[in-house]
Amino acid sequence: MAAWVSLIFVLYSYSGWNAAAYIAEEIRDVGRDLPRALITGTATVTVLYLAMNAMYIYALPINAMSGVLAIAQKASLALFGALGARMIAAILSVALLGSTSAMLLAGPRVFFAMARDGFFPAFIATSNGGGAPALAILFQALWVSVLIVFFRCLRAGDPLHRLCDHHLHGNGSRRCDSATATASRIV
């Protein structure tokens, strides 16, 4: 079972490879540039993922990795010391912010296209003067906020967690945690 659970993180590492397709109608030469972006993006992510895993295996014995979620931090600490680990953490943080930024740009295009095609309220298909799907971006921001506020179910002991457990699930924290996972997948 643990091996299957560990594959979830592998799945998440490749998430977003197809995001270039979300903005296909905004690409000048889509027939040439979209396949190039998808292939290059997937190949780059694959190489980076394999290189990071090779670094982890080089830095730590397998039994030292067992049960560790912050494996990059532990491997960086073993290879580069405390200062190097902090630098790697900073680099990974910037990379994650870049990924989030890319999805903030690509994600609303899905809502925009759905609204334009009649599968979402039509007003969301409105763009601003520069062609950006302004209302779709606003809708995504509002939707994410709703998911965070109502489904986040903070750590055990926090007031929102207790409220969620008590009112929604009859004190079943596992259900609350699965709501968090579901909400994060929707976003």
- Predicted pLDDT of residue 70: 83
Instruction: Look up residue 100 and give its two tokens.
Output: 């989030």
Return the residue matching tokens 């969301």: 124
Distance CA 17, CA 31 (A): 17
Indicate the range of 38-47, 121-130, 156-165 predicted with least confidence.
Answer: 156-165
pLDDT beyond 60 at 162: no
Evaluated on CA atoms 178, 184, 185, 187, the torsion sign reads positive
Lowest mean pLDDT across 64-73, 124-133, 158-167? 158-167
94 Cβ contact partners less than 8 Å away, ≥ 6 residues apart? none
* Spatial distance between the Cα atoms of 6 and 40, rounded to a whole number of angstroms: 26
Q: Mean pLDDT across the stretch 38-55?
A: 89
Collapsing DSSP states into helix, strand and coil, what is residue 28? coil
For residue 68, the model assigns a pLDDT of 83
Residue that has been written with the tokens 């190489």 in this structure: 47
Instruction: Round the average pLDDT of the chain to a whole number and report it.
Output: 78
| Residue 60 and residue 75 in contact, taking contact as beta carbons nearer than 8 Å | yes
Residue 121 has what pLDDT? 92
Domain ranges of the chain: 2-151
| pTM of the complete model | 0.61
Kindly report the CA angle at 187 between 165 and 48, in degrees rounded to 5? 120
pLDDT at 183: 41
Q: Is the pLDDT of residue 18 over 80?
A: no
From start to end of 36-181, where are the E strands? Answer: none
77 and 59 Cβ atoms separated by less than 8 Å: no
Q: What does the alpha-carbon distance between residue 126 and residue 112 come to, in Å, rounded to a whole number? A: 8
What integer pLDDT is reported at residue 115 of this predicted model?
A: 92
Q: Is 124 exposed, middle or buried (0-12, 13-18, 19+ CB in 10 A)?
A: buried
pLDDT for residue 23: 84
Write the pLDDT tens digit of every residue in 95-126.
877 777 777 778 898 889 999 999 999 999 98
- CA-based max dimension of the chain: 57
In terms of pLDDT, which residue wins out, 33 or 7?
Answer: 33
Burial class of residue 69 in the structure, from the number of CB atoms within 10 Å of its CB (0-12 exposed, 13-18 middle, 19+ buried): exposed
- The residue that leads in pLDDT, 3 or 47, is 47
Looking at mean pLDDT, say which of 14-18, 59-63, 139-143, 182-186 comes out highest. Answer: 59-63
Residue with tokens 């560990």: 6
Per-residue model confidence (pLDDT) at position 187: 42
